[in-house]
């Protein structure tokens, strides 16, 4: 939904993940769900799947090189992957690798393309880094598992630090609090809108943060408590 919202509003979007078939399906769904499919199909495809595991340094370097060779720059990096936990000792550690470490190394790897985006000046706001954290980062109940909650708390603090250090480089760091799905439901009292979150909720949030309207955001937590 993030990729679709950005692409439908004029952005060229690369989506990255381990399973190419899932990425291709997501890109195709964006076409089929367009409000004007016939017009959309006439456009050049601008949601581009790239297969890679961001917990593997070689994959990350290859992806950065591919995007740099194609475009030379990026204006926005969104880290949106996450897994729950824990299970075994190794699975607990792997939750950190995906939810926290991969975000850190992705930001570092894309610093040059992000700075190139600033130099290009094709948008008015500075280049941005956005990471999806989670309500578990602020919740005393480990609703999605201890490893998940602790790793997301680490993401939140890491982005606070990035917001300070990257600002010195002319970049901005933001982290929206991601939605959480629970099969057993959640008491209405903890959901002010008293309704499930919709695609438009996240789409609206991401378009605000990445537009000129969000140009002064830096080090902000954007929390939308809807499920």
* Positions marked catalytic: 133, 148, 152
Give me the helix-helix angle, 111-120 and 57-70, nearest 10°: 20
25, 30, 66, 160 from 36: Cα distances, Å: 19, 11, 31, 39
Q: Is 17 helix (H, G, I), strand (E, B) or coil?
A: strand
What is the rounded distance in angstroms from the CA atom of residue 21 to the CA atom of residue 180? 25
The secondary structure of residue 135, as a DSSP letter, is G
What is the rounded distance in angstroms from the CA atom of residue 84 to the CA atom of residue 140? 16
Q: Is 175 helix (H, G, I), strand (E, B) or coil?
A: strand
Cβ atoms of 66 and 15 within 8 Å: the answer is no
Dump the DSSP string for 38-83: HHHHTSPP-EEEEE--TTSHHHHHHHHHHHHHHTS--SEEEE----
């Amino acid at each position: 939904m993030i990729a679709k919202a950005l692409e439908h509003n004029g952005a060229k979007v690369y989506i990255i993940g381990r399973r190419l078939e899932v990425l291709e399906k997501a890109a195709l769904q964006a076409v089929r769900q367009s409000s004007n499919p016939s017009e959309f199909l006439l456009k050049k495809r601008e949601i581009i799947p790239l297969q890679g595991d961001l917990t593997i340094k070689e994959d990350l370097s290859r992806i950065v090189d591919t995007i740099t060779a194609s475009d030379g720059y990026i204006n926005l990096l969104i880290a949106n992957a996450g897994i729950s936990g824990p299970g075994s000792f190794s699975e607990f550690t792997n939750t950190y690798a995906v939810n926290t470490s991969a975000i850190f190394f992705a930001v570092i790897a894309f610093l040059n393309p992000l700075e190139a985006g600033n130099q290009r000046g094709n948008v008015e706001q500075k280049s941005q880094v956005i990471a999806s954290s989670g309500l578990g980062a602020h919740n005393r109940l480990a609703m999605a598992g201890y490893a998940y909650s602790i790793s997301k708390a680490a993401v939140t603090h890491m982005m606070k630090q990035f917001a300070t250090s990257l600002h010195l480089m002319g970049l901005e760091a933001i982290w929206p609090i991601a939605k959480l799905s629970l099969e057993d439901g959640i008491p209405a009292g903890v959901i002010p809108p008293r309704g499930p979150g919709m695609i438009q909720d996240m789409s609206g949030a991401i378009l605000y943060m990445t537009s000129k309207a969000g140009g002064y955001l830096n080090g902000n937590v954007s929390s939308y408590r809807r499920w």
